[in-house]
Amino acid sequence: MTEARQLRVAIAADRCQGHNRCCLVAPELFEADDEGNARVRGDGSVPAGLEAKAKRAVANCPEHAVRLTGA
Amino acid sequence: MQTRPPVTDWATDFDHFDPQWTANPYPIWADLRQRCPVATSQRFEDGGYLPTRYDDVREIAYDAEHFSSRRVIVREHKLPLGASTAPPITSDPPEHTAARKVLLPAFAPKEIARLEDKTRAVCRSLLDAMGDRAEVDGAVDYAQHIPVRVIAHMLGVPEEDGDLFRSWIQRVLVDGVRNPQIVPPTVAEMTAYFDQRIDERSAQPGEDLVSFLLAARVDGAPLSREHVLGSLRLILIAGIDTTWSGIGASLWHLATHPQDRARLVAAPGLMQTAIEEFLRAYSPVTMAREVVKERDVGGCPFKPGGQILLSFPAANRDPAVFEAPDEFRIDREVNPHAAFGLGRHRCIGSNLARMEMTIAIQEWLARFPDFTETPGRTTTWSEGTVRGPRRMPITILRRA
């Protein structure tokens, strides 16, 4: 029996331009730093129930800076 | 208004001041996207280019080596370089990086959140001033004042200076595109205004943006006076008619789409996707780049010297990226719009604009849950590089 792999979000800092879309879509997973660029909260693990929000954050980033792994 | 020769072929003779474009640019872009997709025009010095696909707009926005930001407004006659520098919007790397970094903290979400109460108070006082009139103008009585007053507050200057700010913007962004001789004296007027503010704040610093810029350090050194003046001109010019257009276009949509109006009133939780959809469908801001090195994009050769009309609004209607792009979907879930640009020049005021739009619409709906575009009267839209309603007759149908 295989356990579902842990979903994780990450921000590619070299791509993020501070549109702030991920922070608005999924404030549980992302926050803005002092310059307004995004960073993940904690280690980026996506708690159960927030999978859809994580996917929306990926889909709404105009710079393709949000990554989702373990899906 | 001077008459312009009408456009005969949008693919080879585009003109973003043509009345057809001003009235409804979306079908023009849809047509060009299919058959060009990069339109050209000899109406603008050294040639104009208009990419219409999202991917092409992105390529250009990402490529500062070939496409410079040193001229950010497409003009019939180019201004001399340096005539109106406004770092960082007119900067390229490497200067751009530091000039932007210094401004970013003042516009980060947590700083902008501190302006929410003030913005709400501004909106309420404008709504109060409408009294019990059945007919109001959503642009003249409401939208146009909100960003002006918020920016005045941020700069620590009197709200009454807003009329002056709006006249500068009209001259630089609209009248000046066709009559370039009015730009330098306008820039000189703005410089004189901010020179005084700089002297005042140097003597007595406050909590405002002028003081913030004076206190800023890059590698330990203060910004030059010219740099501070340029950034202040930028904040003023870029922060006002853009957001006023965003608020106005959102209200216009709600005034003309009763179902969306009712839905948003019934389900305020839709506000977040609604705001992003207003931004996508009615993106106010078109930027420009100047070709500095030849390159092909979208199968079209871009020649050095050429002026690119970088239409984020057109990119945001590209069916390759957005499902049913000409449909307004208040709950659109996938919406990576480029209303605030793409790449390193992402609008630094985007958090401010979004906050002002959200509060402006919330407060309007709280006061006027039902309203409509006044029958028989027409909304007029701005010309050129920033698109939004300038006169918008609205009839109030129900008050809260």
pLDDT tens digits, residue range A30-41? 999 999 999 999
The residue range of the domain holding A26 is 8-69
Type of residue at A10: A
**Rounded to an integer, what distance in angstroms lies between the CA atom of residue B23 and that of residue B40?**
20
Query: Is A2 within the bounds of a domain?
Result: no
Predicted local confidence at residue B73, as pLDDT: 87
Closest CA to B271 of B367, B360, B397: B360
**Rounded to an integer, what distance in angstroms lies between the CA atom of residue A45 and that of residue A10?**
9
Provide the pLDDT confidence category of residue A71 given band limits of 50, 70 and 90.
low
Residue given tokens 């390159």 in the structure block: B295
Is the predicted pLDDT of residue A3 greater than 80, yes or no?
no
B337 CB neighbours in chain A (<8 A) are 62
- CB pair distance less than 8 Å for A61 and B110: no
DSSP code at position A41:
S
Query: Is A45 within the bounds of a domain?
Result: yes
Predicted local confidence at residue B177, as pLDDT: 75
Predicted local confidence at residue B31, as pLDDT: 97
Summarize the confidence of residues A47-58 as an average pLDDT: 97
Query: Is A3 within the bounds of a domain?
Result: no
Q: What ipTM describes this predicted complex?
A: 0.95
Predicted local confidence at residue A1, as pLDDT: 44
Find out whether B311 and B29 touch, Cβ atoms under 8 Å.
yes
Is the predicted pLDDT of residue B60 greater than 50, yes or no?
yes
Predicted local confidence at residue B384, as pLDDT: 85
Q: How far is A24 from chain B (nearest CA, A)?
A: 8
Is the predicted pLDDT of residue B207 greater than 60, yes or no?
yes
Chain A residues within 8 Å of chain B (Cβ atoms): 17-21, 23-25, 32-36, 56, 59-63
Taking only the tens place, the pLDDT of each residue in B192-202 is 999 999 999 99
DSSP code at position B28:
H
**Among all residues of chain A, which has the CA nearest to that of B333?**
A56
Summarize the confidence of residues B174-181 as an average pLDDT: 82
**Closest Cβ opposite residue B344 in set A17, A36, A62:** A17
Q: How far is A27 from chain B (nearest CA, A)?
A: 12
**Closest Cβ opposite residue A59 in set B334, B338, B344:** B334
Summarize the confidence of residues B159-181 as an average pLDDT: 86
Closest CA to B338 of B26, B32, B57, B7: B57
| Chosen from B329, B333, B347, B355 to mutate, greatest number of chain A CBs within 10 A | B333
Q: How far is A7 from chain B (nearest CA, A)?
A: 20
Q: How far is A37 from chain B (nearest CA, A)?
A: 8
- CB pair distance less than 8 Å for A17 and B107: no
Query: Is A12 within the bounds of a domain?
Result: yes
- CB pair distance less than 8 Å for B108 and A36: yes
The two tokens of residue A6 are 């842990």
User: Based on the structure, what is the number of domains in chain A?
Assistant: 1
**Among all residues of chain A, which has the CA nearest to that of B54?**
A62
- CB pair distance less than 8 Å for B105 and A60: no
SS3 B288: strand
- CB pair distance less than 8 Å for B334 and A56: yes
Is the predicted pLDDT of residue B251 greater than 90, yes or no?
yes
Summarize the confidence of residues B287-299 as an average pLDDT: 96
**Percent of chain B with pLDDT strictly greater than 70:** 99
Predicted local confidence at residue B80, as pLDDT: 83
Predicted local confidence at residue B1, as pLDDT: 46
Query: Is A17 within the bounds of a domain?
Result: yes
Task: Count how many pairs of residues, chain A against chain B, have C-beta atoms within 8 Å.
Answer: 54
- CB pair distance less than 8 Å for B346 and A35: no
B41 forms bridges with which residues in the sheet? Answer: B48
CATH classification of the domain holding A25: 3.30.70.20
Mean pLDDT of chain B: 94
Domains and CATH numbers, chain B: 19-398 (1.10.630.10)
Query: Is A53 within the bounds of a domain?
Result: yes
**Closest Cβ opposite residue A32 in set B101, B109, B343:** B109
- Note the helical H segments in chain B: 19-23, 26-35, 54-62, 95-103, 109-113, 116-129, 145-155, 162-169, 176-178, 183-203, 209-215, 225-239, 241-256, 258-266, 271-281, 312-315, 350-367
Taking only the tens place, the pLDDT of each residue in B114-138 is 999 999 999 999 999 999 999 999 9
Chain B residues within 8 Å of chain A (Cβ atoms): 101, 104-105, 107-110, 272, 276, 333-338, 340, 342-344, 346, 350-351, 354
